[in-house]
Homo-oligomer: A and B are copies of this chain.
Amino acid sequence: MKTVYERADIVPLLGEIFRELGYEGTTLSRITERTGIGKGSLYHFFPGGKEEMAAAVLADVDGWFETAIYEPLRQDDARAAIEAMWINVNDYFRSGSRICLVGAFALDETRQRFSPAIRDYFVRWIDALRLALVRTGCSGEAALAAAEEAVSGIQGALVLSRALDERDIFGRTLNRLAERLAAAQSGN
């Protein structure tokens, strides 16, 4: 009995494992153990080994955010896109029970391997949000500050909700952040 995979099917599985175990904590044997995918397949699709796997996951995450969040913020109706962002963020991170892989990689030495990708993810998020805020009539400087505050706040909410292991704190914090952002839109 043999199961045949495609690269696109494997990447999300790898994503969950890297999220849970971190880069160093993710071993090939644990990947096999959790997914049933053997080394043969893994190195067939990712000849660069573990590092290429993690890079593929980062690119996948980045792509998801690009189409689901950044592009709407840049192109669609600003207020609607911002509102949709909060909903999508809450869904994506499963109300705080799922962490941000990019943020986690930023904290330890893993950052050195992927620093351009990590940096880019956050720069583009902040910039897309900033542009949306400007379109609502917010001044340039205030828009940047508000965008940084929101993106930074989301990362903090993820850390805190995992640390406290409380169901509702992520949603509560997201609501506070959304209110702050709404305040930045109308006035100032």
A residues near B (Cβ < 8 Å) are 20-25, 99, 102-104, 106-111, 115, 118-119, 121-123, 145, 148-149, 151-160, 162-165, 169, 172-173, 176
Docked complex Cα distance between A107 and B20 (Å): 8
Residues of B within 8 A of A151 (CB): 156, 160
Q: SS class of chain A's interface: helix, strand, loop or mixed? A: helix
Alpha-carbon separation in the docked complex, A106 to B149 (Å): 21
CB distance from A83 to the nearest CB of B (A): 21
Contact A119 B152 (CB under 8 A): no
Contact assessment for A163 and B108 in the assembled complex, using a CB-CB cutoff below 8 Å: no
Given contacts A25-B108, A154-B156, 16 further A-B contacts (CB under 8 A): A20-B108, A22-B24, A22-B109, A25-B110, A99-B107, A103-B159, A107-B158, A107-B159, A118-B163, A123-B164, A148-B160, A148-B172, A151-B156, A152-B157, A153-B153, A155-B160
Q: Are A164 and B122 in contact (CB under 8 A)?
A: yes
A21 engages B165 (CB within 8 Å): no
A108: chain B residues within 8 A (beta carbon): 20-22, 25, 99, 104
Contact yes or no, B20 A119, CB < 8 A: no
Query: When the two chains form their complex, are residues B162 and A148 in contact, meaning their CB atoms are under 8 A apart?
Result: no
Contact residues in B for A109 (Cβ distance below 8 Å)? 20-22, 25
Contacts of A115 in B (CB 8 A): 165
List of B residues within 8 angstroms of A154 by Cβ: 156
Instruction: Using A22-B22, A22-B109, A149-B176 as known contacts, say yes or no to A160 and B99 having CB atoms under 8 A apart.
Output: no
Closest residue to A18 on the B side, CB-wise? B108
Question: Is the Cβ of A155 less than 8 Å from the Cβ of B159?
Answer: yes
Smallest beta-carbon distance A150→chain B, Å: 10
